[in-house]
Structure 1
Amino acid sequence: MPAPWLRLAVALFAVSWGANQFAPMQLVYSRHLGLTSGSFTAMLGAYVLGLVPALLYFGRVADRAGRRVVIRSMIPVSVVSSLVLLLGPLSPELLYVGRVLAGVASGMAFGAGTAWMKELSARAPAGAGARRAAVSLSAGFGCGALFAGVVAQWLPAPQVSPYVIHIALMIAALALVWPVPETRTARTTPAVTRVTALSTAPFLRGVVPWTPWVFGTATISFATLPPRVEQSLGAVSIAFTGTIAALTMITGAVIQPWARRFLEHREEWGAPAGAVLGVLGLGAAGVVVHTDGAVAVVAVFGAALLLGSCYGVLLISGLVAVERLAPEDELAQSVAVYYCLIYLGFALPFLVSVLAPRIGYGTCFAAIAVLMTASVLVARTAPAPRARPARRDDVSPVGR
C-alpha cells in the first residue's frame, strides 16, 4: 500500500492537473469559438477569482476542522469544474464559470494539502513536506498541460476529451486519498483569524515583494509566448502549446529538490537565484518576439526552461520561509495566504496582452525584468527568518 504522503501527492497532482489543463486550449477555442487572445487570458486569470477566497476560507477550516475533510470535499468540486468546462462549446460564458470552479478546487487543496503533507512527512528530513507538496503540484501543472495539448491536437472532440481524462483521474485520486489518516484533531475553540507569521518583517519585506513573479513568469512562458510562433508551427501548434506549458512546470518541479538543498545552506539567496533565472528567461522571451521561424521556436524552448526554473526556485523559497515562520495551528492559513500572493501573477499575461499593442512585447518583458530585480533587492533588506515555536498540542501523532 502506498505511503499516506504519496496518496496525498496523487490528489495534489490531480487537482493541479485540472488547474492547468486549460493552458494549451487557447488555439482550440480560437479556432472553434473565435476567442481572442485577450478573452482567453481573461479566462485563464478567472481561476484566481475562485482560488483566493477558497484559499483564505478553507485554510482556516483546515486548521480548525482538520486537513482530510477539506481534501475529500475538494475532489467533487474539481470534477464539477471539468464538467462545466466540457460544456463550454455550448456557451463561452461556461468557460469562465469552469475556471472559477477550478480555482475553488485548487484553493481548497493548496493550503490544506501543503500543511497535511508537512505533517505526514514529519519523519522525513526537514523541508521534505514542502518539497513533496511543491513537486506534486508542479508535476500536475505540467502533465495536465502536456496531455491536454496532445489530446486536443490528435484525438477527436478536442473541446471535450481533455476534461474527460481529468474527471477519470480525480475519481482515482478520491479512492487513493480517502483512507489517508487525519493529522489534526478538530478544535472547538475559535479558529485563528490573525496569522501572526505573516505580519513579521521576514515575510512582509523578505517574501511578499517578489511573490507575483512566481506564477507571473511561468504564465508568460505558456500563455504569452506560444501564440507568437503559431505561424511557424502550422498543424502542431496546439500540441506545441501544451508541450511548452509542460516543460515550464516540469522544469519547475525538477529543480525544486536541488533548490531545497541549496536553501538549507543559503536560504537568503533563493529569491535572487530565482530572479536571475527569470531575467534570463525574459531575455529569451524578447528574442521570441523580435525574430521568427526556427530561431523564435528555439527561443520559446529556452524561455520555458529558464522561466520554469525561476518559478520552481521562487515557489520552494517562499514555502520554506512560510514553513519556518508559521506555528502548526496557523500553517494551512499561512500557506494559503502565500498562494494567494503568488497567484496574483496569473494576471500578468492579461496585462501584457493589453499593453503590448501599445508599447511592444519587448518593452513589457524589459519592464517585468526591472520590477522583478527591484523586488528582490527590496527583499534582501529584510531580516533573516527565524523559526517560530510550534504548537503541537492539537496535532495527532499520525505520520510522526
Structure 2
Amino acid sequence: MSRPLAFVAITYAFAVAMMGTTMPTPVYSFYQAEFGFSVFVVTVIFAAYALGVLAALLAFGRWSDSLGRRPLLLAGVALGIASALVFVFAGSLTALLIGRVLSGLSAGIFVGTATVTLIELVPDKWRSKAPAIATAANIGGLGLGPLIAGVLVQYLPEPTHLTFVVDIGLLVVAGVAVYFVPETVTVARGARPHMQRLSIPAPIRGTFVRAAIGGFAGFAVLGLFTGVSPGFMTHVLGIDNHAVGGLVVFLTFASSATAQIAFRGLSAAFAMRAGCVVLIVGVSALCLSLLLTSLPLLVVAALVCGIGQGVTFSKGMAAVTAELPVDRRAEVTSTFFVVLYIAISVPVIGAGAAASAWGLVTAGVVFSAAVAALALVSLILLIAESRSHEQAN
C-alpha cells in the first residue's frame, strides 16, 4: 500500500474505532426502558468505558514500540468488534458493562498508537496538517458515533441491534485496511512490551496541576453530554427524537475538534485562560437550559462547552509537554490522560446518583456549578502564575 493510501486507511480506522465507542449513547434509553435501569446505572454503564481506556493506556501504551504498530491497531479493531458483538447479544447489566470495557480498551489502544502511526505515515506534503487530521479523526469520530447511531435508532428498526451491526461492518473494513498498511517501526528480535509508568517531574508539577484542573472540568462536561444528556433531553425537555439527541452530542465534539484545530496557533498561557472562561460560560448556559427547559440554549451550551473543552485540553497538554525532555513525555502524557479519563467517568457517576436522588434538573444544576467552580479555580491559578512570571521578569 502506498504511503498516502496508508495514511488515509489509518485515518479511517482511527475515526471508525473512536466512533464505535460513542455509538451506544442514543441506545441507553432503550436499555433503561427494557431493563428498568435508573439514571445512575446508565452512567455506570457509560463510565465503564473509561476503565477500559485507562487499562489500555497503562498496560498497552508502549507495546507498539516493541511489537509494531499494526499488531496493536489490529488488536484495537478486534476489541471494538468484540464490544459490538457483546452489545448485539446483551441481555443483562453485566454484558453491557463488559461491552463498554472492551470498547474502552479499543479506544485506549487507538488513541496512542493510531496518532503515532499517522505522524509516521503522513506524506511530506501533508506533514503540517497531520496533527489537525489526527484531532479530526479522534474527536470527530467520537462525535460521529452519537450522530449516526441517533439516526439509525430513530428511523430504522431494531434500535438495540442495528447500530452495532453497522459498527461491526465499519470495523471489519478498518481491520482489512490496517492489515495492508506497511509497518512503520522495526521490531527488534526478542523485544518485550512493558507497562507504561506514570510520573510528574517536580519542575512541571505546578504547570501540570493548573492544566489538569481545567482539563478535568472539560472532560467532565464531555462525559455529561455523552452519558446523561439523552436522559435530560427526554425527561426534562420532552424531546424523544434520538437523532436530535445524537446531534447535540455531535455538536459538542465537533466544536471541540474545531477549536483545537482553529486555535492551535495561540499561546498556551492565553488560550488556557480563555478556555476556562468559555467553559464557565458554557456550563452556565447548560444550567439555564435545564432551568428554562430550552433546547436552543442546550445547543448553545453544547457548542460553547465543546470549544472550552477543546482549548483547555489541547493547550493544557501543550503546556505540560513543552517543558519536558522527549524521554519523559510518554509517562507524563499518560498521567495527564489518567486524570482526564477519571474526569469523564467519576463525576458523571456522581451526576447519575444525584439525578436518582434529587431529579435530573437539580443534578444538572449542581454538576454545572461544580464544573464552573473547577474552571474558575484553574483560571485563578493561571492568572496568578502569569502575574508571578511577569514580576519575576
The answer for the alignment partner of 2:31 in structure 1 is 29
Question: 2:373 aligns to what?
Answer: 370
Q: Secondary structure at the match of 1:260?
A: coil
Q: Give the stretch that moved more between structures: 143-152 or 308-317.
A: 308-317
Tell me by how many angstroms 1:333 deviates.
Answer: 5.0
| Kept after mapping to 2: 8 A contact 1:67/1:182 | yes
What is the DSSP-based 3-state SS (H/G/I as helix, E as strand, rest coil) of the residue aligned with 2:186? Answer: coil
CA distance in 2, matches of 1:251, 1:119: 27
Q: 2:353 aligned with 1:354, yes or no?
A: yes
Alpha-carbon shift at residue 128 of structure 1 (Å): 4.0
Report the Cα distance in structure 1 between the residues aligned to 2:29 and 2:304, rounded to whole angstroms. 24
Equivalent position of 2:65 in the other structure: 63
Q: d(CA) in 2 for partners of 1:66 and 1:336?
A: 19
C-alpha distance in structure 2 between counterparts of 1:194 and 1:93, whole Å: 30
1:66–1:185 contact (8 Å) kept in structure 2: yes
Once the two structures are TM-superposed, the CA of residue 364 in structure 1 deviates from its matched residue by 2.9
Q: How far apart are residue 196 of structure 1 and its match?
A: 6.9
Any conservation in 2 of the 1:26–1:37 contact (CA below 8 Å)? no
Counterpart of 2:318 (choices 317, 320, 324) is 320
Is 192-201 or 154-163 further displaced after alignment? Answer: 192-201
* Rounded Cα–Cα distance in structure 2 between residues aligned with 1:323 and 1:75: 29
State the partner residue of 1:157.
Answer: 158
Counterparts of 1:335 and 1:131, CA distance in 2: 18
Work out which of the residue numbers 248, 253, 259 in structure 2 matches 1:255: 259
Kept after mapping to 2: 8 A contact 1:51/1:104: yes
Report the AA paired with residue 144 of structure 1. Answer: G
Equivalent residue for 1:338? 336
For normalisation by structure 1, the TM-score amounts to 0.84
The Cα shift of 1:19 comes to: 0.8
Q: Partner of 1:299 in structure 2?
A: 297
**Cα distance change on mapping 1:114 and 1:36 into 2, 3 Å:** same
Cα pair distance change 1:233/1:27, threshold 3 Å: same
Counterpart-to-counterpart distance in 2, 1:328 and 1:6: 27
Q: What does residue 40 of structure 1 align with?
A: 42
Q: Quickly say closer, same or farther: Cα 1:224–1:77, change in 2 above 3 A.
A: closer
CA–CA distance in structure 1, aligned partners of residues 176 and 27 of structure 2: 29
Match of 1:182 in 2: 183
Between 320-329 and 299-308, the greater mean CA deviation after superposition: 320-329
Instruction: Tell me if structure 2 keeps the 8 A contact 1:215–1:345.
Output: yes
Q: Unaligned regions of 5+ residues in structure 2, if any? A: 387-393
Q: Which shows bigger deviation, 362-371 or 189-198?
A: 189-198
CA distance in 2, matches of 1:184, 1:240: 43
Is contact 1:251–1:309 with CA below 8 Å preserved after alignment? yes
Q: For the residues of structure 2 that align with 1:165 and 1:145, how far apart are their CA atoms?
A: 13
Q: Cα offset for 1:318? A: 3.8
- How far is the alpha carbon of 1:198 from its aligned partner? 5.8
Counterpart residue type for residue 8 of structure 2 = L
Taking a change above 3 Å as real, the CA distance of residues 334 and 7 of structure 1, as seen in their structure-2 partners, is farther
SS at match of 1:97: helix
| Partner of residue 309, structure 2 | 311
Residue aligned with 2:264, SS: helix
Contact 1:127–1:260 (Cα < 8 Å) also in 2? no
C-alpha change, 1:198 and 1:116, in structure 2 (3 Å) is: farther
RMSD: 2.8
Q: Residue 86 of structure 1: CA displacement?
A: 1.2
- Tell me, in whole angstroms, the C-alpha distance in 1 between the residues paired with 2:148 and 2:77: 20
Contact 1:68-1:182 within 8 A present in 2 as well: yes
Partner of 2:218: 214
* Paired residues of 1:21 and 1:148 also in contact (CA < 8 A): yes
**What does 1:78-227 correspond to in 2, within 5 Å?**
78-88=80-90, 90-121=91-122, 123=124, 128-187=129-188, 188=191, 194=197, 200-201=203-204, 204-227=208-231
Deviation at 1:241, TM superposition (A): 1.8
Once residues 260 and 247 of structure 1 are traced to their aligned partners in structure 2, the CA distance between those partners, rounded to angstroms, is 20
